Chains A and B, each alone.
Chain A
Amino acid sequence: MEYAPVIGVGTSAEGQARSLWYDAWVRLRRNKLAMLGLGIVVLVILLAIFAPYITRYDPTEQLIWTEGRAAQLAPPNAKHWFGTDLYGRDIFSRVVYGSRVSLQIAIAAMGISVFIGTVLGALAGYYGGWIDEVISWLMNVIYAFPFLLFIITVVAFLPPSLTLVYVAIGLISWVSIGRVVRGQVLAFKNQEFVEAARALGVSNRRIIFHHILHNVIAPVIVQATLGMGSIIMTEAALSYLGFGTQPPTPSWGLEISMGQDYLLSGKWWWSIFPGIAICLTVLGFNLLGDGLRDALDPRLKQ
């Protein structure tokens, strides 16, 4: 086993491919930290899906109007596990529902990133020449661009919305994927199996998308998983600054920003719990991403 790309050869690759994924899964399972990461990620996904069944209160329901002062800024208790905020909203509900916003944006933005990154990276790597130069120049420009400033500028001109946030993040964060794909394609395009395909008269498009990209899936998955964490952080930062998710939609970043005024006066629960949620989720994606990288790259382990 010199290198993994062998599995990409020919049409009978399917059987062998499954065994690669199986091998990877076996390796991943042996990695305790990666399994912890996977556990956290699965938990967050389950929270997001089953939010209405897990929580007792509507995350936007303001209890002060009916229950008065007792419901306001209550510390964690049996009814409100994470306490309540200024308006008597249940912070546990808001944290659980907040996972929906975070995941929604992370998945949508990552989808856009993966699409742009893969297509542009593959084109640059395969064709080389001026196409490569233009795309690489674009990647360098975006890479050097102040990320938050770009999004804040965009949001300043258009009314903030979830769609805008993930499109803006997606349009910017494809560069790392694009670079990985370009590098991989560059390494593969002169391999024998590609040359063989070319000799058989297979079209460029088919070679790129069918023969080469199959072999690039693994590093893209690793990059995408690692990238999820940073997208969740970006969304939180934007919402914290008031440019992301808009009230009353619960978002972790927004919660921290509203709660921080009360942090010094001892009402810690309003921003601490959403803060923990962000930390854990990002940690989960990063651990899983690291584990996947180790599992999907046999050269590292053998």
Chain B
Amino acid sequence: MRRSFVLLLAALLVCGLTASVLAAPKYGGIWRDALNANPPDLNPVHATDTTSAEVIYQIFESLVEIDNEGNIVPLLAESWTSNEDGTVFTFKLREGVRFHATTEGGKPTANGGREMTAEDVVWTFNHICDPAVNSERAYFVDMIKGYADYREGITDHLAGVKALDKYTVQFELSYPFAPFISILGYNSFMILPREDVEKWGHREFNFHPVGTGPFKFEEWVQDSKVVLSRNENYWMKDADGNQLPYLDGIEFRIIVDHNIEWTEFLAGNLYQVYVDDPYYEQAGGTKMTVNPETGLKTAVTNLGLFYERPQLGTYYYGMNVEKPPFNDKRVRQALNYAINREVLIDLVLNGRPSPAKGVLPPGMMAYNPDLAGYTYDPEKARQLMAEAGYGPNNPLEIDLYYNSSTLHERVAEAMQAQYAQIGVKLNLRVLDWGSLLDGVERGEYGMFRMGWVVDYPDPDNFLYVLLHSENIGPQGNYARFNNPRFDELTKLARLETDTAKRIQYYQEAERLVVEEAPWVFIYHYATFSMVAPFVRGYELPSFGQYANKFRAVWLDR
């Protein structure tokens, strides 16, 4: 009786939703959302984290963008072509795109709301690669011709970027680089108005961001909130020719605690919420339906719409292969055999992520479903530990460094119990995120928690950035993995333009990493989000919830 009532209710809700999706969008309303930290930097040139990116995506736009399914699609560039060997890319820019005319309570911007042109693209890339600006992610585009000369002060500009006419811009690379287009969608490569950046300087621009995006910057109260307002001159229109965005503005409140965030969502003060594990069932997480094509899971409850999908990212415990006992491959392999990923994910993490066999997440090019990986085998783990000289009389004790968060703590305590089973004592050493990153970059810690979510959808962003010996240290290779064959393969894949060959190189490289085990491969992320029942036009990006865009979101009430 009760069940049929629930079914009826669900059916009504689904009908209601379909009906309202078909209905014409309504203008107006403020989108109320939460950020889990004060954004470190709202200047795209210096932002490297997901919290900053979540705000940056609303204010700024790049030449291309990654859509919600992970495809590269035009944004400020309408179209592009490349020459035969993939070293010259020519972009045709969209006409009639204007920078924000006003900002921060109606004050005029320095650029005055003028049109964005090819000159702006040239200036922006020169600014990003400017050695004096020292953008943290400039090295992502180090294949642009003249990069090294410009960085070293031999030339005063980046030779490889040229404006051919008002709406055409050309990039020339020093070598063929297949993932180049997708890198341009990364959130550091937003096109900036020169006048405003120069007015504030590249450090102060963090507090006065101006771009071409659907929302304008209004106010940032540190550790409290970031407020954005509708860009009335925004260029994009919906399918019916209505101007976007529909919303009057966005208010991001900075709420660090997931419990408070959840309570605020239930009280109706937030329209989007992070669903922490304790609320998973309440949010409908145990009764989700899956779209087999996209992997998107959804649940409709009276609280709202709960979305969840695999995210291109990997959660791992890195091991510094230069430091004992991690310089012994058998120890590293044993630590991989010792954990039961399935039970960990199913019970401790509500079954949300998927077990990691290697580095590349499912959905990424070159992902290898047949990769053997490590299965749960405590016997084998014990045997490997014994071969490495550890046993009941000489037990191994390891310090695991991780940054404080309930999620990392939950995983770490489970890992601690698993390692105790093979006689390894794991001491938990909690640090704040900044100290962890700092120590890890300097190679100070033997074992450390890390996670990596994709910046651009190419295996290069995982294998080359995180494990090539050129990138040992702050660049991303924190495990200090150094394998000549691996280096060779990832370099070859960088220069190769034939996708089939690239896949071959990457798969062989990944097999090498798995065998050498510089990481304990734990899981591939899932991203999730719950929005209020009256929210329309919301989509959960496969890149992660932080990449959501609100230009087509509207409120049905």
Contacts and interface: CB of A to CB of B under 8 A. Distances in A.
Contacts of A258: 409
B427 interface: yes
A159 B429 contact: yes
B343 A246 contact: no
A84 to B, nearest CB: 12
Interface residues of A, number: 22
A65 B418 contact: yes
Contacts of A248: 413, 416-417
Contacts of B404: 242
A262 B343 CA distance: 20
A299 to B, nearest CB: 51
A14 to B, nearest CB: 50
Interface string A186-209: 000000000000000000000000
B259 A260 contact: yes
A52 interface: no
Contacts of B340: 65
A259 to B, nearest CB: 10
Interface in A23-68: 60-62, 64-65, 68
Nearest to A159: B429
Nearest to B283: A265
Q: Chain B's interface: helix, strand, loop or mixed, by majority? A: helix
A65 B417 contact: yes
Given A65-B418, A87-B413, A248-B417, A262 B347 contact: no
Interface string A239-269: 0001000111000000000101110110100
B430 to A, nearest CB: 6
B278 A64 contact: no
Contact of B262 (A246, A247, A264, A267): A264
A72 B427 contact: no
A262 B348 contact: no
Interface in B269-308: 276-279, 281-282
B259 A247 contact: no
A86 B418 contact: no
A248 B281 CA distance: 27
A258 B406 CA distance: 8
A247 B426 CA distance: 10
A267 B428 contact: no
B410 A86 contact: yes
Q: Could you say which of B279, B409, B417, B430 has the most chain A C-beta atoms within 10 Å of its C-beta?
A: B417
B323 interface: no
Contacts of A265: 278-279, 281-282
Contacts of A87: 348, 413-414, 417
B258 interface: yes
Contacts of B429: 159
B310 to A, nearest CB: 23
Contacts of A79: none
A69 interface: yes
A268 B326 CA distance: 41
Contacts of A65: 340, 343, 417-418, 421
Q: Could you say which of B258, B278, B412, B418 has the most chain A C-beta atoms within 10 Å of its C-beta?
A: B278
A245 to B, nearest CB: 11
Nearest to A241: B404
Contact of A267 (B278, B343, B413, B430): B278
Contacts of A64: 343, 347-348
Contacts of B276: 261
Contacts of B281: 265
B278 A247 contact: no
Q: Could you say which of A68, A242, A261, A267 has the most chain B C-beta atoms within 10 Å of its C-beta?
A: A261
Interface in B366-417: 404, 406, 409-410, 412-414, 416-417
Given A87-B414, A258-B409, A264-B278, A246 B427 contact: yes
B71 interface: no
B263 interface: yes
Interface string A85-113: 01100000000000000000000000000
Nearest to B435: A156
A242 B406 CA distance: 11
A155 to B, nearest CB: 11
B430 A242 contact: yes
Contacts of B277: 261
A261 B258 CA distance: 8
Contacts of A247: 409, 412-413, 416, 428
Contacts of A60: 417, 420
Contacts of B416: 247-248
14 contacts: A62-B417, A64-B343, A65-B421, A68-B347, A69-B346, A86-B348, A87-B417, A247-B409, A247-B413, A248-B416, A261-B276, A261-B277, A264-B278, A267-B278
Given A61-B417, A62-B414, A265-B278, 10 more contacts: A64-B348, A68-B343, A69-B346, A87-B348, A247-B412, A248-B416, A258-B409, A261-B258, A264-B259, A267-B278
| 10 interchain residue pairs of minimum CB distance | A265-B278, A62-B417, A262-B278, A64-B347, A261-B278, A247-B413, A72-B347, A265-B279, A247-B428, A242-B430
Interface of B: 258-259, 262-263, 276-279, 281-282, 340, 343, 346-348, 404, 406, 409-410, 412-414, 416-418, 420-421, 427-430
